[in-house]
Amino acid sequence: MMQSRSVQIWVGLFVIAGMAALLMLSIKVSNIRAFSNEQGYELNANFENIGGLKVRSPVTMAGVVVGRVSKIGFDSEIYEAVVTLNIDPRYDNLPEDTSASIFTSGLLGEQYIGLEAGGAENYLHDGDRIQLTQSAIVLEKLIGQFLVSQADK
């Protein structure tokens, strides 16, 4: 009887540990930082097409995550997407002529924004707009253009 009780306790602990591992995995996969407060500064960038970019997508520079996408909107005057980036305060020395491009990790992976520093002496500040942007490459559009060019031959 006592041995059966200890087996039940160990099985219960194992199940709890498994559920905790699944919770941590789901948080990691969904790009949610548990118990983190959003600090830093915000930059805006306009793109003609953002593809599958989502809120909480990473913002990288030289392969290092320096921030996250905090908001995605639409400017109905110029018909472009407006992406707001929340940049970690440790990276407060981005030159004014920094460029932003939307990339895809792998062939069908998640999309992210890659920043490339320019050479300006002045830095971007909270609320500034990144002027140089490159939109996402939409695979369907690329395939369509290839098919049309092949049909013309």
Residue 7 has pLDDT above 50, yes or no: yes
Task: Write the pLDDT tens digit of every residue in 141-151.
Answer: 778 877 888 77
Beta bridge partners of 83: 45, 72
Q: What percent of the chain has pLDDT over 90?
A: 58
The one-character DSSP state at 30 is T
Task: Write the pLDDT tens digit of every residue in 71-121.
Answer: 999 999 999 999 999 999 999 899 999 999 999 887 667 899 999 998 899
Residue type, 53: L
DSSP, residue by residue, 38-75: --SEEEEEEES--TT--TT-EEEETTEEEEEEEEEEEE
Chain-centroid distance of CA 12 in Å reads: 37
**Rounded distance between C-alpha atoms, residue 145 and residue 137, angstroms:** 12
> Nearest to residue 86, comparing CAs of 66, 65, 68?
68
